[in-house]
A and B are shown apart, each in its own frame.
Chain A
Amino acid sequence: MTAVNHGRGTGTWPKLTLRPALLVPVAAVGFAALVGLALIAAIGVPVSGAIAAFVDGTFGSLYVIAASINRSTAFALVGFGFVLANRASLTNVGGEGQIAVGGIAATAVALYGHVAALPLGLSFILPMLAAVAAGALWGALAAVLKVKSGTNEVISTLLLSFIGVWLLYWCVQSPALLRKPMTSSATLPESLEIPDETKLPLLTGDYSFPLHVGLPLTLVIAVVVAVLLSKTVLGFRLRAVGLNPVAAHRAGISYARTVVFALATAGALGGLAGALMLLGEQYTLKDGFSSGYGFDGLVAGLLSRGSIPGVIAASLLFGFMRSGGINMEMAAAVPTALVVVIQGLIVITLAGAALVIERWERS
């Protein structure tokens, strides 16, 4: 993961100049979109219909806009965690599992924690905190493995992801855990719907524009993470350990504590993403709950090259792309596989664009 740049190590926010830094990514997305359209044309789907379906799915209604932004918050939270851990040269690829355990914890507390009657928003805050704790635990497990026995966190977070995802499957399959009571053989393997009090409040109160409190929360967290990385001693320690763990150790900075902090925080943010998805959007826990959001968030973190605004930009892009892709599939019969291919193309061209910008800036 050497392509990840730590904001040139200074921890400051990048200067957004209009020149290559912005134009190149736009051109990259445009190029990928053109290739995508060519592929769509090649399989015989009318291009104009596909474009119309995509636009309709992304900006066609207030509803899809809100849904896209809600989805983006989950990507962004995982992306922030990735950037934070990456400051310490740690690569957290376990977002998927952290989302899953977050979803399990939030569901369990919302359904069986007797929180529905609590005042002051505690009815949804407590399930969120449970998700944060579960995600932090999932991240900390990988950290402890790394500190105690040197296990590479790429391996451990990825494998813990599988465990988390299958744990969720077990939870929704087993009536002794979170599966809703089986009244007939047709009862789906999923949890009960969470009580209304535990659902995240909508910003407008209007279900046709279902933007929930996850958005302001994510923006606050963005500021907190950016400040933590650039202004605090914690951020300094992350950077020192990331750049030279031996010298950091000699200077009295604890490697173990820093690694545990970094991965646990990344995991906590993943868990919170899971809580937003469950409490704000899905309301019932089902198999396939995490839907690859952990990997989209990871890619957002990678593409951001260590910048928090970059994570937000990439997350919005992916959030809207997903909505458009879903609608292209439903309305224009473009196969899902092709939508995924186009997404991959965009990631690759954006990564290539990052390289171009880097060379540009160097010369």
Chain B
Amino acid sequence: MTDPTSDSARIAAEPLLSLNAITKRFGSFTALSDVSLDLRPGEIHCILGENGAGKSTLCNLIFGVHRPDGGSMRYRGAPFQPSGPADSLAQGIAMVHQHFSLVGDMSVVDNVLLGRARGVLDRKACAAQLDRLAGEYGLPLDPLARIEDLSVGERQRVEIVKCLIRDPSLFVLDEPTAVLLPDEIAALLDVCRRVAASGRAVVLVTHKLAEIKQVADRVTVLRAGRVVATSDNPAAEIDALVRAMIQGSVEALDESTASMLGFEPVRHVDHGPAAVQPKAEVLQIDGLTVTDHQGVTRLDNFTLTVDRGEIVGVAGVEGNGQSELTAVLAGMMAPTQGRIYLGDQDLTGRSPREITAAGVGIVPEDRHAVGCVTGMSLAENIYLNRLDEFTRFGFLRRAALERDAAAMMQRFDVRARGPGAPFSSLSGGNQQKAVLAREITLPNLACLVAAQPTRGLDVGAVAAVYGHIRAACSRGVAILLVSSELDELLTVADRIVVLYRGQLMGACAADPSRREVIGAMMAGQPL
């Protein structure tokens, strides 16, 4: 935690950027209403709020993606009306977006050079700069690696480095820690501190209270597009801030959510006894090996069983075979070796359709690429894999589809204009709830594989996701929870196994006192 006495000296009194009564509307929807706030040189200013509260819109206004419908902005003492992101960038405002903007087929260094280079590309100089930044901020990257070969976490690092290399005076990060490892988060928060210490303003959009406690100098809380609370001493006033954010009492927070958010010390929360006889193996993964087209072994002789009513967590640094494991279980990738059984049914190499029919629900790691069709409606996405139920003589019974989807929205608290709303208009949390709703309501659900199910979600959505996963578990569903958030696994899972370079490093009970042991396994030290 930063020393408060040095803060007052570090943070300038004059704001670098000030927003005055900003309003932003999209059609009839008011995303931001009368929002005023100051960003001062040298401070880390956290923006806290649930999904849909207007955090991303605020960032996009600062970054010049959108223009305000009302109010004004001042930057360095002068009126500020960025004509677009390029203008903001040129004026020293850099932003790491929630969704990456990287060219998959290009190398890290080429992506960094993109939009910066003039004339001859000097990859060598750029790579050297990357190395320097990597060392300085603890963001290791292979400059020549292709983006497509990188994990989500590594891609995020590229985005961060892309900003840092510009040496910005205002550094905006929109939910940057959602995909990072505990160590990486610590390193990133360290980056934030260093950037702030050098007299720049850092805006950190987050919903993780632990981060606010650790680094925030000031906090602004948004709810439904309005500023509902501000704090100059967030570490001490955290309870009030959370209450303002979720407009409810902290006591009402689900135990495991509170624990997961760092609100309470991490502890395991039991999901209650399963209503079935114990020790009935449901999912059996036997010697699964995946070798990619370059001959690299991504998953190496991985064996695991998940019983009925059991939640098994798969921990590990991202890029250690988790993606391949879920892809194979989902039928999206054929294993090189090994077998997968559901009960006594062999599911190895089956198509996604057959796997769904067998009763395996999949919440994929990459919601946008695999989990949904953003160009279609919410109702169409909720029943994407069960269209046959809404078909008569080849015709889609749209009315029935939307009626049933409306019921699902109610049950899973998916907030949208209606079942016909475009999926892309939903917030990330609501999209995830819809995907979860689809997979968890499979009529014969026996096993649920959920990969990073709470990534980027706000408090309410996280609690909802856990609630539904636990409810399924107590109905006897076998659950495989893949997550790079160790706290999440320690809280929710019964057992944790650790993946390292595609291999099973070991297994242990989800006991928070074993955190060091698990951390060591994640770093490659066997039990």
Q: How far is the CB of B429 from chain A (nearest CB, A)?
A: 19
Task: Report whether B353 and A252 are in contact in the complex, using a CB–CB cutoff of 8 Å.
Answer: yes
Binds B, one of A13-21, A56-64, A232-240, A276-284: A232-240
Pick the contact of A236: B330, B372, B387 (CB < 8 A): B387
Q: How far is the CB of A257 from chain B (nearest CB, A)?
A: 11
Task: Report whether B373 and A252 are in contact in the complex, using a CB–CB cutoff of 8 Å.
Answer: no
List, in ascending order, chain B residues with CB within 8 A of A251's CB: 352, 356, 384-385
Pick the contact of B374: A233, A235, A244 (CB < 8 A): A244
Query: What 0/1 pattern do residues 1 to 31 of A give for CB contact below 8 A with B?
Result: 0000010011000000000000000000000
Contact residues of B between 365 and 396, Cβ < 8 Å to A: 369-377, 380, 384-385, 387-388, 391, 394-396
Judged by a CB distance under 8 angstroms, whether B364 is at the interface is: yes
Task: Report whether B352 and A9 are in contact in the complex, using a CB–CB cutoff of 8 Å.
Answer: no
List, in ascending order, chain A residues with CB within 8 A of B371's CB: 247, 250
List, in ascending order, chain B residues with CB within 8 A of A246's CB: 332, 369-370
Judged by a CB distance under 8 angstroms, whether A243 is at the interface is: yes
List, in ascending order, chain A residues with CB within 8 A of B384's CB: 240, 247-248, 251, 253
Q: Which residue of B lies closest to A254 (CB)?
A: B353
Q: How far is the CB of A299 from chain B (nearest CB, A)?
A: 25
Query: What 0/1 pattern do residues 212 to 249 of A give for CB contact below 8 A with B?
Result: 00000000000000000001111111011001101111
Q: How far is the CB of A84 from chain B (nearest CB, A)?
A: 15
Task: Report whether A249 and B332 are in contact in the complex, using a CB–CB cutoff of 8 Å.
Answer: yes
Chain B interface size range: 20 to 34
Q: How far is the CB of A2 from chain B (nearest CB, A)?
A: 13
Chain A interface size range: 20 to 34
Task: Report whether B394 and A247 are in contact in the complex, using a CB–CB cutoff of 8 Å.
Answer: no
Query: What 0/1 pattern do residues 319 to 339 of B give for CB contact below 8 A with A?
Result: 000000000001110000000
Task: Report whether A233 and B373 are in contact in the complex, using a CB–CB cutoff of 8 Å.
Answer: no
List, in ascending order, chain B residues with CB within 8 A of A232's CB: 394-396
Q: Which residue of B lies closest to A6 (CB)?
A: B375
Judged by a CB distance under 8 angstroms, whether B472 is at the interface is: no
Task: Report whether B376 and A243 are in contact in the complex, using a CB–CB cutoff of 8 Å.
Answer: yes
Q: How far is the CB of B204 from chain A (nearest CB, A)?
A: 31
Q: How far is the CB of A66 from chain B (nearest CB, A)?
A: 36
Pick the contact of A243: B364, B374, B395, B398 (CB < 8 A): B374
Q: Which residue of B lies closest to A228 (CB)?
A: B394
Q: How far is the CB of B50 from chain A (nearest CB, A)?
A: 26
Task: Report whether B373 and A231 are in contact in the complex, using a CB–CB cutoff of 8 Å.
Answer: no
List, in ascending order, chain A residues with CB within 8 A of B83's CB: none
Task: Report whether B370 and A233 are in contact in the complex, using a CB–CB cutoff of 8 Å.
Answer: no
Contact residues of B between 308 and 364, Cβ < 8 Å to A: 330-332, 351-353, 356-357, 362, 364
- Asked if A233 meets B376 with Cβ closer than 8 Å, knowing A251-B384, A252-B352, the reply is no
- Asked if A247 meets B369 with Cβ closer than 8 Å, knowing A240-B384, A252-B356, the reply is yes
Q: Which residue of A lies closest to B391 (CB)?
A: A233
Task: Report whether A236 and B385 are in contact in the complex, using a CB–CB cutoff of 8 Å.
Answer: no
For the complex, give the distance between the alpha carbons of A233 and B383 in Å. Answer: 12
27 A-B pairs in the complex with CB atoms less than 8 angstroms apart? A9-B375, A10-B377, A232-B394, A233-B391, A233-B395, A233-B396, A236-B387, A236-B396, A239-B375, A240-B373, A243-B374, A244-B373, A244-B374, A246-B369, A247-B371, A249-B352, A250-B330, A250-B331, A250-B371, A251-B352, A251-B356, A251-B384, A251-B385, A252-B351, A252-B352, A252-B353, A254-B353
